[in-house]
């Protein structure tokens, strides 16, 4: 099982940022309203995620770190009605197999918490401990037992850049989440819970960008589309600033990206990657999110309809604004 875990880990845990993503998603699944991410040296030294979610039941502490154990899917049918972020039950096990992992967790109705430590796959005992309600995951010695992988980590700045990007995606997908990111003791982002998406974009990307955004919104049947796109006079063009969220999760979609490019074609915009913060809400049963382990690509039942919706919404909008 040890070897299998390490192989599986390669797929899910590519770098420190993958850990941050998986653990923040677990916190969201546990209904956390606040997540603090603490990083030391690009994650190579420490990754600590603290949430105020519903915690792990004492009897489930061991289950949480075993491979393919998930509390989120009961049968194959559930695969078609995914409302939670995680559903494969492999992230925590994979993380534990390539690092030292310490978990501390307490449920709201329990008077003490439980802790457990896993060192390169060697599982310690579950012990009682005092801790606040919620879960704290602490990862040290990342890739300590796989020196080759450790060597392949890029500079600490680059790794932190990837972490910051994952953090931003989750923060943008969940404006009502209080999210904090620290690196080497310094607060990088402190984002209070907010109803206002623009506030959040502002805090993450600055005023210069938010001043040049246009609100769009549209509906087609059960599908809703809304968000901000760059004014055609905005000269910033960057693939990284093309955010697309599907039912609260960051995704990548070539077809929709193409629609975006098409809508701007011939306009003043410089560059091929117009800035966008787009949100799609569609019935979960009309999309398959189970195509790839990292779950960023999806398969829509009717991708043509979404393509047309995005393209026509943007074209109509651009006709109505001053260029
Ligand atoms: P998955 O998210 O696919 O279920 P994971 O390996 O990411 O698998 O997590 C395993 C299990 O550990 C989860 O199903 C959940 O029961 C528990 N767990 C992990 N992180 C948290 C958390 N922050 N709060 C509560 N439970 C958690
Ligand atoms: Mg998970």
Measured between its terminal Cα atoms, the distance across the chain in Å is 60
CATH of residue 17: 3.30.565.10
Name the residue of 66, 70, 97, 98 whose CB sits within 8 Å of the most ligand 1 atoms, as the mutation to test its pocket.
Answer: 70
Per-residue pLDDT, 87: 47
For 136, the 3-state DSSP assignment is strand
Atom of ligand 1 nearest to the CA of 90: 6
- Residues 72, 121: one domain? yes
- Residues 298, 217: one domain? yes
- Residues 245, 151: one domain? no
The structure's pTM equals: 0.90
Give me ligand 2 centre to Cα 322, in Å.
45
Pairwise CA distance, residues 241 & 64, whole Å? 34
What domain range includes position 264?
Answer: 206-319
Per-residue pLDDT, 147: 82
Residue 128 in domain:
yes
- Positive or negative, the CA dihedral 162, 165, 170, 176 is positive
Closest Cα to atom 20 of ligand 1: 26
Per-residue pLDDT, 80: 47
Tell which residue, 166, 207, 220, has the closest CA to residue 25. 166
Closest Cα to atom 25 of ligand 1: 55
- Residues 161, 305: one domain? no
Give me ligand 1 centre to Cα 54, in Å.
11
CB 62 within 8 A of CB 116: yes
Per-residue pLDDT, 73: 56
- Give me the tens of pLDDT residue by residue for the chain, a chain 323 residues long: 455 555 455 556 889 999 999 999 999 999 999 999 999 999 999 999 999 999 999 999 999 998 765 666 555 555 444 445 554 678 899 899 889 999 999 999 999 999 999 998 899 999 999 999 999 999 999 988 888 787 778 899 999 999 999 999 999 999 999 999 999 999 999 999 988 999 999 999 999 899 999 999 999 999 999 999 999 888 777 888 999 999 989 999 999 999 999 999 888 666 678 999 999 999 999 998 876 666 688 899 889 999 999 999 999 999 998 87
Residue 7 in domain:
yes
Give me ligand 2 centre to Cα 161, in Å.
22
Positions of E strands within the chain:
34-40, 46-51, 100-106, 113-119, 122-123, 127-129, 134-140, 178-183, 186-191, 213-220, 223-230, 242-246, 249-250, 276-281, 287-288, 299-300
**Measured in whole angstroms, how far is the alpha carbon of residue 19 from the centre of its chain?**
10
Atom of ligand 1 nearest to the CA of 135: 23
Closest Cα to atom 10 of ligand 1: 64
Residue 200 in domain:
no
Ligand having the closest approach to the CA of 49: 1
CB 146 within 8 A of CB 98: yes
Tell which residue, 308, 298, 301, 296, has the closest CA to residue 286. 301
Atom of ligand 1 nearest to the CA of 25: 2
Pocket of ligand 1 (CB under 6 A): 22, 26-27, 29-30, 51, 53, 55-56, 60, 64, 70-72, 86-93, 135
Ligand having the closest approach to the CA of 134: 1
Looking at the chain, the number of H-run helices and the number of E-run strands are 10, 16
Residue 199 in domain:
no
- Residues 239, 133: one domain? no
CATH of residue 220: 3.30.230.10
């Amino acid at each position: 099982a040890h070897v299998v875990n390490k192989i599986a880990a390669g797929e899910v845990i590519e770098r420190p940022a993958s850990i941050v993503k998986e653990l923040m998603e677990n916190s969201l699944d546990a209904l956390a309203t606040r997540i603090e991410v603490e990083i030391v040296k690009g994650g190579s030294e420490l990754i600590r995620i603290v949430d105020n979610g519903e915690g792990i039941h004492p009897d489930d502490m061991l289950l949480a770190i075993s491979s393919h154990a998930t509390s989120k899917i009961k049968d194959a049918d559930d695969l078609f009605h995914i409302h939670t972020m995680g559903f494969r039950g492999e992230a925590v096990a994979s993380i534990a197999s390539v690092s030292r992992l310490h978990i501390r967790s307490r449920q709201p109705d329990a008077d003490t918490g439980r802790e457990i430590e896993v060192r390169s796959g060697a599982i310690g005992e579950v012990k009682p401990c005092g801790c606040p309600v919620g879960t704290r995951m602490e990862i040290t010695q990342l890739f300590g037992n796989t020196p080759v992988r450790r060597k392949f980590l890029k500079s600490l700045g680059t790794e932190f850049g990837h972490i910051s990007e994952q953090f931003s995606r989750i923060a943008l997908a969940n404006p009502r989440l209080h999210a904090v990111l620290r690196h080497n003791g310094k607060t990088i982002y402190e984002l209070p819970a907010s109803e206002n998406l623009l506030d959040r974009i502002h805090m993450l990307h600055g005023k210069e960008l938010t001043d040049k955004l246009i609100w769009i919104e549209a509906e087609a049947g059960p599908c809703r589309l809304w968000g901000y796109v760059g004014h055609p006079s905005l000269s910033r063009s960057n693939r990284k600033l093309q955010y697309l969220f599907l039912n609260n999760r960051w995704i990548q979609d070539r077809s929709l990206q193409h629609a975006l490019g098409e809508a701007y074609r011939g306009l003043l915009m410089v560059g091929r990657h117009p800035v966008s913060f787009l949100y799609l809400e569609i019935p979960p049963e009309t999309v398959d999110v189970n195509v790839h382990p990292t779950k960023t690509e999806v398969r829509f039942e009717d991708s043509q309809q979404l393509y047309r919706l995005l393209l026509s919404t943007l074209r109509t909008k651009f006709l109505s604004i001053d260029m």
